[in-house]
Amino acid sequence: MRGVKTNVPFLMNVLKNSTFLAGKCDTFFIDSTPSLFDIEVPEDRASKMLSYIGERILEEDRLPKPAGHRCPSALYQRARSRKAASKAVG
């Protein structure tokens, strides 16, 4: 699950624990079982990829631009004005 952090990995450790499965838990079960907190962090490839793309975009933005380079926002504005013009004609 991405986004909001949950306690699902902790609960999975509880459900897999042999003491819990045997029904021999008491009120000190969590305190006396530190292995419940040995949580594996899942690999979040999507966030890593977005971070990489963002870093490349920022890196490219700092590089000198060749002559005649148009920034994306200027291209967007030009496409938008063409769309508006075609609506006015049609």
Taking alpha carbons only, the member of 31, 30, 2 closest to residue 14 is 30
Alpha carbons 22 and 29: distance in angstroms, whole number: 12
Token pair for 21: 């499965």
pLDDT tens-place values along the chain, 90 residues long? 455 677 888 999 999 999 999 999 999 999 999 999 998 776 778 878 888 888 887 777 666 666 666 666 655 566 667 666 666 665
Give residues with Cβ within 8 angstroms of 1, minimum separation 6: 8
pLDDT at position 1: 45
pLDDT at position 33: 94
pLDDT at position 77: 64
pLDDT at position 72: 61
